Structure 1
Amino acid sequence: MSTIVNYEEEVAQQALTRRATVEFINIVNDLWYDKSIELVFFRNPLIDKRASEVLNLIDYAKEFVNKPITIQDALNIAKAIQKVDLPASKLDIGKLAYECHLNPKGCVDKEAFIKKQLKNITEAKDITPKDVVLYGFGRIGRLLARELMSKMGKGTQLRLRAIVTRDKITPTVLEKRASLLSIDSVHGNFLGTVQVDKENNALIINGTTVFMISANNPEDIDYTKYGIKDALVIDNTGAFRDDVELSRLLTSKGASKVLITAPAKGVPNIVHGVNHQQYNPDKFNIFSAASCTTNAITPVLKVLEDNFGIKKGHLETIHAYTNDQNLVDNMHSKYRRGRAAALNMVITETGAGKAVAKALPALEGKLTSNAIRVPVPNGSLAILSLQLRRPVTTDIVNAILKQNALEGDLVEQIKYSMDNELVSTDIIGSTAPSIFDSKATITDGETIVLYVWYDNEYGYSHQVIRLAKHIAKVRRYTYY
């Protein structure tokens, strides 16, 4: 027999929930813009989120940590954070709410609870803001610009000051660049303002001037003319792929560090969260953020290597097509990539299998890899077929990965999905480079097959920014 539903009570409760969510969102924004304190919810950004998006995160958390976390719980924790004197920081309010449920007696006084949990970050950390130049303005460059400007806050970390392109800067070019930044067929409209400053050859993004610089060679640029100094240059052109070529980017007056958004030879290849602490920014001037696929699989492989050991394996990446491929059949320097990208599945190579060893030396020579480009514009899937050093079960593998997604050094890198209906469009916009599909795990003794989704544009761009903050030494205190 069906339970009688009191519709009027449900409507009233929904209104209270929405009201609490709006209040929570307002506190999130006040903390960010007034105190440079960024709240996230199990690593998911909360800045500029709508009420429905926040409530969806609450539902995810209930299943993820198996605790009845509510929007009221999050709101109470946020109010307590407002009352505590904290330095600029990034705090996972989902984790704090989870810990509050684990220790209800110790969480009666929310303000005292916050002070206890965050006792190690109550001392201010001296951070000098870092000027940033984007060298190139393609898919990754524009996403980096969006993220840098939308998360600028008080400008205490990374400051986007200029964008370098090869084309001559004309009013028409400025208008087109502004349009490409404002509107994106995959990621939607930029939640900000973009205007053109024709007199200064600049874009005004969210009210802040970003100069557009035309140059064929980095040696021709003097950033100091634009008031830029000691800049981190993020190269996303793909034109410079080794230490010698990348060194040219340091010849520009006003540049001090270089980060390339691709694998590179002769420089540290880094997957943030896995091996970034091995490289002191004071001792290196050029860094590589590796590839999107390498960033997707390496965090998961590290968990498996650390817990079970990996004998050998094969990576097959089902990858969205990229600008390197042809829109229609035409000549191409590589076999098969000349065939129409939106009409064909295209077998091609990937260096991700070998590149993993640069971040995880224990896997040197243990992985083979290949790629299949498929007719989707974004959203990719890595299939890991591995031989472990001891037998496991699906429950054991999933539990270990879930634990690493919840706490530890890889919480920003691994998102644990429990969705039975997960498909490629669902992961577009994920800030994590690895979305582990727990429902697809296959095990047979020592043999396992894992499925790792990744937004090869958005998730990777966030990894680049995480690494950029490490290089620039502007990483705030975090609590995950």
Structure 2
Amino acid sequence: MSANLNYEEEVLSEAQNRRTTVEFITIVNDLWYDKSIELVLFKNPLVDKRASEVLNLINYAKEFVSKPITIKDALDIAKAIQQIDLPSSKLDIGKLAYECYLQPKKCKDKVAFVQHKLKDAKTYKNIEPKDVVLYGFGRIGRLLARELMTKMGKGSQLRLRAIVTRGPINETVLEKRASLLSVDSVHRDFLGTVQTDPENNALIINGTTVFMISANNPEEIDYTKYGIKDALIIDNTGAFRDKEALSRHLKATGASKVLITAPAKGIPNIVHGVNHKQYNPDKVAIFSAASCTTNAITPVLKVLEDNFGIKKGHLETIHAYTNDQNLVDNMHSKYRRGRAAALNMVITETGAGAAVAKAIPALEGKLTSNAIRVPVPNGSLAILNLQLNTMVSKERVNAIIKKYALEGDLVEQIKYSLDNELVSSDIIGTTAPAIFDSKATITDKETIVIYVWYDNEYGYSHQVIRLAKHIAKVRRFTYY
């Protein structure tokens, strides 16, 4: 009988939790669409989430900070944020709830507490939105389009205005482009609407016109004909890989900045969160977002270098196959990449080890690297075997990484995983470029082996967008 009563209590408690969660979700979406205030929970997006997804994130938050944070705590903080006059912002409600738990006396008045924590928002200046053009529409281009349109809100930051591709643009081509944007075999359905406008050679994404422009040479385009001015061109074609070639974009009428989604020569290679502040967008016109692997390993390597010092090491990346490989055995400029991608593990090279030194000069010449392409379409893993300058334990290494994942300049870059059985499909859709597998860390005196997972498409795309916001100077007030 008592067991049955407990069960009934559990059902009622869960129903109340879900009712509270629905109220919380309503506030999250109202803040976003009405005030351009985006709430996240320890970097995890909350906009347009279902109740079960939010409750799972609450459970992660509770375990992550080892404190009994509840959905009611998150709701109370969200209600307080509603009552405060704030500029366009991105606020980590998990961090606020955690700090509230640590300071219960100060947090009795939630509005006053949150107002104090967000006091720096008063000095934040209004930002001018920036027109964006995607030059290319492949795997990264389409993910960028999805994210830019999903997070459009009131259009106060980056505005996707056009997409440039080669070849003719007609009704059939538009339909195919729309289909590829709407449905993805890896990242599933786009949670929005995509329609075609053949009369204007455009896609209508979430009710907003995005022009499709055909061009063989970037310098020939006049973006102002489409009402686009002072645009940031995000080149995701991989066709232009040095300063001279990328400068061609700046000859186009209406373009002012260029960002390439690949490593490039002669221009700053940036890992956002690590070295982006070293380059002033007012003085630099062309930027590189480096590679997905470089973005995955550099944040973690910075933490280790800053805290322990790195003597030397080797990076091995177990990488999903890419469009550069063959579907079946065929001719290729590289012997092994010519073999069927979905049937073979393929040893290949990666420049990520050397590229890290561009963001962390102290690691120049200290890292070797190699790669193995494996038969999965997305989701990769970097294994770092390092010799440190001091003896460490697994507990100490994990504690340091966790601290940086919770606070500081790398909270967007490092996700600290508590999962006992993390596999590659689990990390698909993660916005952080580096997912630190805390359960897999190995230490032996000065030697450590750590495992860093990364969604080589989605996580990297978010790094590109973070860097794009820095270049466009549309970074909002943030509280992490």
Normalised TM-score (structure 1): 0.99
On the 8 A contact 1:132/1:233 being kept in 2, the answer is yes
- What is residue 285 of structure 1 aligned with on the other side? 285
Range that drifts further, 441-450 or 7-16: 7-16
Matched residue SS, 1:464 = helix
C-alpha distance after superposition, 1:402-422 (max 9, x if no partner): 000000000000000011010
Offset, 1:126? 2.0
What is the deviation of 1:210?
0.1
Residues 172-205 of structure 1, C-alpha deviations (whole Å, 9 max, x = no match): 0000000000000000100000000010000000
Percent identity at matched positions?
83
Question: What does residue 265 of structure 2 align with?
Answer: 265
Contact in 1 for aligned 2:271/2:289 (Cα 8 Å): yes
Structure 2's unaligned 5+ residue stretches are none
CA distance, structure 1, for counterparts of residue 168 and residue 69 of structure 2:
54
* One-letter amino acid of the counterpart of residue 195, structure 2: Q
Does residue 328 (structure 1) correspond to residue 328 (structure 2)? The answer is yes
Where does residue 319 of structure 1 map in the other structure? 319
Measure how far apart 1:124 and its partner are. Answer: 4.3
**Which residue of structure 2 lines up, in the alignment, with residue 448 of structure 1?**
448
**2:30 pairs with 1:25:** no
CA contact (8 A) 1:88 1:124 kept: no
Cα deviation for residue 4 of structure 1 reads 6.6
Q: Which runs of 5+ in 1 are unaligned?
A: none
- CA shift digits 1:56-106 (9 cap, x unpaired): 000001110001000000000000000011111100000000000000111
Q: Alpha-carbon deviations, 1:422-459, whole Å to 9, x = none? A: 00000000000000000000000000000000000000
Shift of residue 125, structure 1, vs aligned partner:
1.5
> Who is 1:408 aligned against?
408
Q: Which amino acid aligns with 1:17?
A: N
The letter of the residue matching 1:254 is G
Aligned residue for 1:122, secondary structure, equals helix
Contact 1:87 1:123 in 2 (8 A): no
Please report how far the alpha carbon of residue 3 of structure 1 lies from its aligned counterpart in structure 2 after TM superposition: 6.5
Residue 134 of structure 1 contacts residue 236 of structure 1 at CA under 8 Å; is this kept in 2? yes
Check conservation: 1:219, 1:248, Cα contact below 8 A. Answer: yes
- TM-score normalised according to structure 2 size: 0.99
Corresponding residue of 1:363: 363
**Matched ranges for 1:175-254 at <5 A:** 175-254=175-254
Give the number of equivalent residue pairs: 479
Rounded to whole Å, the distance in 1 between the matches of 2:102 and 2:124 is 29
Letter in 2 for 1:409: D
Contact kept in structure 1, 2:87 and 2:126, CA below 8 Å: no
Q: Answer yes or no: is 1:342 the counterpart of 2:342.
A: yes
Question: Secondary structure at the residue paired with 2:336?
Answer: coil
- The answer for the alignment partner of 1:120 in structure 2 is 120
Q: Deviation per CA, 1:126-172, whole angstroms, max 9, x where unpaired?
A: 21100000000000000000000000000000000000000210100
Alpha-carbon distance between aligned partners in 2 of 1:152 and 1:34, rounded to the nearest angstrom: 12
Q: SS at 2:34's partner residue?
A: helix
Matched, 1:173 2:179: no
Residue 213 of structure 1 aligns to a residue whose secondary structure is strand
1:365-409 per-position Cα deviation (integer Å, ceiling 9, x unaligned): 000000000000000000000000000000000000000000000
* Residue in 2 that maps onto 1:103: 103
1: CA distance, partners of 2:327 / 2:181: 22
What is residue 467 of structure 1 aligned with on the other side?
Answer: 467
Q: Specify the code of the residue in structure 2 equivalent to 1:97.
A: A
Alignment RMSD (CA, Å): 0.9
Aligned equivalent of 2:150: 150
